[in-house]
Amino acid sequence: MDVSTTTPNGTSAQRVRTLSYAQAAALALQEAMQTHPHIVALGEDLGRGGVFGQYRSADGRCLAELFGSQRIIDTPISEATIMGAGVGMALAGLHPVVEMRVADFALCAIDELVNQAAKNRFMFGGQGRVPLIARLPIGIWTASAAQHSQSFEAWFAHIPGLVVVAPATPQDNYGLLKASLASGDPVVYMEHKELWGLQGEVDTQATAELGKCRVAFDEGEGRDLTVVSWSRQVHVCVDAARELAASGVRTRVLDLRTIWPWDREAVLAAASASGRLLVVHEAVQAAGFGAEVAATVAEHTGARVARLGAPRIPVGYAPTLEAESRINAAQVVQAARRLLAH
């Protein structure tokens, strides 16, 4: 669906458009760069639109064609150099979007992100800020094995000074990227590697707020069960909630959207109302961010809590091995029923 609106100068512009997850992010960046000349992007393959097309506009043009090589910057294959340059640019007054291609590769730039970007504002008394967006695509990438299929959101949530974002829909990939660019803080922006082609409606006048979740599914006001998730796993949880609804289980699925800050108030209220909370994520369950959510709910409510995440194994290359690391809707339903049985 395309819906038009009239701009202040009397021209017509599309307000609601059907875009892919990748196109939505590209549109958000394009609009921000048109408005703010200090925003630049740097990373590998940006000149050809990015590995996943996330630097290519909806009409197929690379953002490098629109803004030139001084603002859409192709870099050498050195993640530490890319992130280090981004931190320096931010301290010098620019607003860099640093592309790491996949989160797994960002481990080569961990010092620049964790020890420099995250801590500069605090270590120097607020004299400098690092308004940097680090795009670190997370999650299992089909047939890409253990070094290209990891989810590190809990790692970065643990670091004071970093904002951590994990959009699940094209709308949120548009709105949350804009909100991240406006935040003025270093943001670890974690898009999912297998959501790039997901299509959805994007309202360019709708805003998103960091630290606020959204209701992804609600059956009967979620009186029986609250499910909390984020990123690609939200869609799996919604499928499971629909199956549960067919048997009379009233479930509310909350999409955190931002891992830090996370919407404690909304989660606590929903869990208190239903009396049961299931946290589901694609990341390894051991020490995953689901533990933080579950512990907080256990500390502040009387709700029963449970977690569901991947086993603590490397993601396999063979389809049968890879499947062992995936959390599917059937597993979510089983975990929900176990929780409901008590």
Active site residues: 148
Task: Kindly list the distances between the CA atom of residue 7 and the CA atoms of 11, 30, 146, 167, in Å, as whole numbers in the listed order.
Answer: 5, 18, 48, 28
Task: For residues 245 and 217, give the distance between their C-alpha atoms in angstroms, rounded to a whole number.
Answer: 11
Task: For residues 252 and 327, give the distance between their C-alpha atoms in angstroms, rounded to a whole number.
Answer: 19
Give the tokens for residue 65.
């064609």
CB within 8 Å of 23: residues ≥ 6 apart: 53, 56, 57, 58, 170
Look at residue 54 and give its three-state secondary structure. coil
Task: For residues 232 and 236, give the distance between their C-alpha atoms in angstroms, rounded to a whole number.
Answer: 7
Length of the chain: 342
Longest dimension (CA), the chain: 61
Instruction: Name beta bridge partners: 20.
Output: 199
Give first-to-last CA distance, the chain, whole Å: 44
Cα angle, residue 86 at apex, residues 27 and 138 outer, rounded to 5°: 60
